[in-house]
Structure 1
Amino acid sequence: MSDTVIRVENLSKKYILGQQKEGSSRYKSLRESMSDGAKSLGKKVLKPGGKKDLNPSSEEFWALKDVSFEIKQGDRVGFLGRNGAGKSTLLKVLSRITEPTSGSIRIKGRVASLLEVGTGFHPELTGRENIFLNGAILGMSKAEITRNFDEIVAFAEVEKFLDTPVKRYSSGMYVRLAFAVAAHLDPEILIVDEVLAVGDAQFQKKCLGKMQDVSRDQGRTVLFVSHNMDAIQRLCSQCVMLERGRVTAQGDTNSIVVRYMSNNSTIQASPNEWIDVSQVRREMGTKEAYFGAVQYSSLNEAAAFQPYSNGSLEFLLAIESDSVKQIGSIAVCLYEKFGTKLVNADSLSLGEIITLQKGKNIVKIKIEKLYLNPGIYVLGLWLADPLRGIVFDYTESAFEIEVINLQVEGLGIRSSADGFVTCDFELFQMTELIR
């Protein structure tokens, strides 16, 4: 159809993963590579059955496999999936940064991409020079760039540093300027990866508003990758979910987000029992320290230790660490089914530092009063050193927790309260007439 701006058919991307010999270094010099290549000339390596294997130490990895979808003009499409699902690879292929192995892509219109900090910037050039460089790369004339220049600078909030080489910019300044350039130089298609997470909350809100404006008011198409379900819901009208390089679902945002959040929350979780979370998929993390198991309880035997509205909720966290570490941010989070974070019990807000010893550690977090209505919620876990900017472990869907209504649970009736949080309130009937 004429309003289709992106058509992807049976798209696949294969990488060859080389396996290093034991004891070999990760990187080789040019001389070593040429030497190894010369030594291998003339050698015949046979597979079982007598067939030649030109590279017996390599294996194939399909980052994308038979991906197909269509996107129409003005659509705002979110791409969901765990780490390694193929989201970033797909955006790189659509941005023509990476060539596909097979399949076809048809794109109608000029594409502006923001895939990682500093993409398309030259570090030695100033902010001013990089604005004109990026505009030229996008095919803009000098007059067009000049026309949008003041608006770009105002949006990025880098006026004081405009004539400073961008290599001296912080990551936040880099992203602000890169997004401002990509969004203001009139691309028909704007592609944005998780890179916006580098900016502060206020700037992220500003970027989401800009992407909504260019789509709604100017009819441009936006492709957006984020682990922030709230941002996905605010911006995107539809979503594509990827898993292990394949499209597993596509449709309206609410239904896909619910499916995404429930995908890894199928662990059977009961109070006062250790729940193994070591194999749950992670959003990110170095795994130098990680959550191995979790136990939760309301500490109330009358509720069978099940969490309940306005009651306390205690978590015991079993954490494995490869060495002694100072942890400035350890958190348990509770999300509703659409991915909105409702509870964030983070040690960072208390200003407390936890010292992990090498091996197994037990940390307790207690929520004094759980202001959540009865329902099913998803538990997320977070472990980081914010001073060094290191995330050790993070999953937003370890398992599901049911919050009950203690007053009616004994009757087998589940509360139908609207909303997510409880509140204390009083009711009065006024008998005096107001004159």
Structure 2
Amino acid sequence: MSTKNIILKAENISKQYRLGTVGTGTISHDLNRWWHKVRGKEDPYLKVGDTNDRSTKGESDYVWALQDINFEVEAGEVLGIIGKNGAGKSTLLKILSKVTAPTTGTIKSRGRIASLLEVGTGFNPELTGRENIYLNGAILGMTKKEITAKLDEIIEFSGCQRYVDTPTKRYSSGMTVRLAFAVAAFLEPEILVVDEVLAVGDAEFQKKAIGKMQDISREGGRTVLFVSHNMAAVKSLCTKGIVLEHGKVVFSSDAESAVNYYLTNASQLKDTSIADRTDRLGSGEIKVIGVDLINQKGEIVEQVISGDWLKIRLNLNANLGVLDYSKLFVGIALRDQEETRVASFFSDEMGTDLSQFEDKDYIDLVIPQFNLRGGMYDVSFQLGLGSTRPEDFIDVVEKAMDIDVLPGDFWKSGKLNRTGNYMILDGYYK
């Protein structure tokens, strides 16, 4: 390592998977690999494999989740890892955390690494919260004495005092992630690796967790690797950022420049018609080929006035009758320009039976009062069958289009409401 205080260095990291199988999948492939290794030759399957682009059908059974990743992190830095779903962020964190091994390349690190990759990873559901604190601490290499010294702080921060002697199988996902984060943060690892798990927590806990990560890096001089789709959090928390695309690093700089690069590239997607977008996910039985904004007069509009009636229409391809619409799930989300979700509409929690659209080539969402302040927002949508799990996706497109919202007289007071990327709630002073 160089004379800089480098605490983590990734050199030529690549990760290859074989689709649809565990391991290499066949004895012949395993033998071939072994024979090449015995003769001191390169793995023959390193030369095959497609780039990790989910939107296109590959020619090979092998796919590169990561390719030639190189970066280094100094002690006390907070590195933000940014990218779309499927870009390779979680795979990279798993390699850095030594959960999985890279196909090629090496990771050099100094000190303990604590990872928060998935909710409850490393927790035994039969053990109580208190027992899991000791278990996780032991996994991180702490002595019982060290853990006991921090125990009260961990329990208080997690907010799980009342349930700390209850088996964690009875915890909600939010409680589990609170406790897991508290353990990882307070046992003072040299490197803290945090995936999108904080999204499970409520707003108050997210704020506490981000504040704690800032304290860890600024005061404790410890290093944090942070993956999030919340660009405001990345900007405020991180000192450096790298942008991943199809398993490769396409940009590396300070956090603000990395976020701006990512948002600029993402906005360019909207220049492609929705029907032609290739970065979509899902089985594709039906696809959204366009999105229209319709006012109360039935006219297609380019802009929306804050507080007005609005219909968002998802236009579908003509594959009618191929699905049971009574099981269809539709989600529409609106985000501001820093990718913070400001509104969402999920058909299942609204109790909507979508059978009414079974013989139509569109699905409508009616919003009686569009309560977002003036500003620019983007629309993402998700169609699924029966659930929101990735294996049930039919069609998912992020950042399908922009909605330009103009200030309106929301309160009917004769004054235009202020602009700003957030919601207006109805209310009055009395």
Same fold (TM over 0.5): yes
Q: Would the aligned equivalents of 1:328 and 1:351 in 2 still touch at CA under 8 Å?
A: no
Query: Residue 303 of structure 2 is aligned with which of 300, 307, 314?
Result: 307
Q: Would the aligned equivalents of 2:332 and 2:379 in 1 still touch at CA under 8 Å?
A: no
SS in 2 for 1:97: coil
Q: Would the aligned equivalents of 1:80 and 1:225 in 2 still touch at CA under 8 Å?
A: yes
Q: Would the aligned equivalents of 1:381 and 1:398 in 2 still touch at CA under 8 Å?
A: yes
Aligned-pair identity in percent equals: 43
> Which whole-Å deviations, capped at 9, do the CAs of 1:30-63 have from their partners, x for residues lacking one?
xxx9xx969x99xxxxxxxxxxx99x99832211
Q: Specify the code of the residue in structure 2 equivalent to 1:315.
A: I
- 1:353 equivalent to 2:352? Answer yes
Give the corresponding residue for 1:180. 182
Give the corresponding residue for 2:236. 234
What does residue range 291-370 of structure 1 map to in structure 2 within 5 Å? 291-297=288-294, 305-307=301-303, 309-310=305-306, 313-318=310-315, 322-325=323-326, 330-336=331-337, 338-341=338-341, 343-344=342-343, 346=345, 351=350, 353-356=352-355, 362-366=362-366, 368=369
The Cα of 1:265 is off from its aligned counterpart by 3.4
> Which whole-Å deviations, capped at 9, do the CAs of 1:105-154 have from their partners, x for residues lacking one?
21122110011122122233222222111111211111110000011111
Give the corresponding residue for 1:147. 149
Separation in 2 of the partners of 1:263 and 1:191? Answer: 26
> Which whole-Å deviations, capped at 9, do the CAs of 1:152-207 have from their partners, x for residues lacking one?
11122222332333233322222121111111101111001112222223222221
- 1:11 equivalent to 2:10? Answer no
What does residue range 58-137 of structure 1 map to in structure 2 within 5 Å? 59-137=61-139
Give the corresponding residue for 2:219. 217
Q: Would the aligned equivalents of 1:326 and 1:353 in 2 still touch at CA under 8 Å?
A: no
Query: Residue 206 of structure 1 is aligned with which of 201, 204, 208?
Result: 208
Q: Specify the code of the residue in structure 1 equivalent to 2:339.
A: G
Separation in 2 of the partners of 1:350 and 1:170? Answer: 19
Give the corresponding residue for 1:381. 381
SS in 2 for 1:227: coil
Query: Normalising to structure 2: TM-score of the pair?
Result: 0.73
Separation in 1 of the partners of 2:132 and 2:370? Answer: 51
Q: Specify the code of the residue in structure 2 equivalent to 1:325.
A: S
Q: 1:180 to 1:394 in 2, by over 3 A?
A: farther
Q: 1:268 to 1:82 in 2, by over 3 A?
A: closer
Separation in 2 of the partners of 1:185 and 1:112? Answer: 9
The Cα of 1:335 is off from its aligned counterpart by 2.2
Q: 1:95 to 1:286 in 2, by over 3 A?
A: farther
Q: 1:97 to 1:280 in 2, by over 3 A?
A: closer
Structure 2: stretches of 5+ with no match in the other structure: 32-43, 49-58, 409-417, 425-430
Q: Would the aligned equivalents of 2:77 and 2:239 in 1 still touch at CA under 8 Å?
A: yes
Separation in 1 of the partners of 2:270 and 2:102? Answer: 40
Q: Would the aligned equivalents of 2:16 and 2:62 in 1 still touch at CA under 8 Å?
A: yes
Separation in 2 of the partners of 1:169 and 1:301? Answer: 48
Give the corresponding residue for 1:23. none
Separation in 2 of the partners of 1:306 and 1:325? Answer: 32
Query: Normalising to structure 1: TM-score of the pair?
Result: 0.72
Give the corresponding residue for 1:2. 4
Q: Would the aligned equivalents of 2:296 and 2:309 in 1 still touch at CA under 8 Å?
A: yes
Q: Specify the code of the residue in structure 2 equivalent to 1:324.
A: Y
Q: Specify the code of the residue in structure 2 equivalent to 1:355.
A: L
Separation in 1 of the partners of 2:291 and 2:269? Answer: 12
The Cα of 1:259 is off from its aligned counterpart by 2.5
SS in 2 for 1:222: strand
Separation in 2 of the partners of 1:71 and 1:84? Answer: 23
Q: List structure 1 runs of 4+ shifted beyond 6 angstroms.
A: 285-290, 299-302
Structure 1: stretches of 5+ with no match in the other structure: 20-25, 28-32, 42-52, 407-416, 424-435
Q: Specify the code of the residue in structure 2 equivalent to 1:178.
A: A
Q: Would the aligned equivalents of 1:309 and 1:422 in 2 still touch at CA under 8 Å?
A: no
Q: Specify the code of the residue in structure 2 equivalent to 1:92.
A: K
